[in-house]
Amino acid sequence: MYKIVVSSRGQVVIPSEIRKRLNIKEGDILSADVEGGGRLVFSVARKNRVKKGVVAQTAGLLSDMEMSGLEYVASIRKGSGRRMDELENC
């Protein structure tokens, strides 16, 4: 049995042994239920690691571009401005 302290902000820390055993990682979503006798039961609702995976998968995607990131953003903005002008003049 583990004893967990509630912080002044209502936060709790799940002991590392439990996190490892249930493979709980940062960003995972847990659900909590109150059962009879004042029992608080947590369960892993879903793994929420897609965001980090997407970032990792796209890292370096544009590294072979001939222009810098700032130049690329400027070109997109310039193109958007031209498109807006075209739409306004229709």
CA 62-66-70 angle, 5° bins: 70
C-beta separation of 70 from 62 below 8 A: no
Residue 85: how many other CB atoms lie within 10 Å: 9
What is the C-alpha separation between 51 and 19, in angstroms, rounded? 20
Q: State the pTM of this model.
A: 0.48
Model pLDDT for residues 17-43, shown as the tens digit of each residue? 999 999 998 888 899 999 999 999 999
Model pLDDT for residues 64-85, shown as the tens digit of each residue? 777 777 887 888 888 777 776 7
What is the C-alpha separation between 64 and 59, in angstroms, rounded? 12
What is the C-alpha separation between 45 and 10, in angstroms, rounded? 20
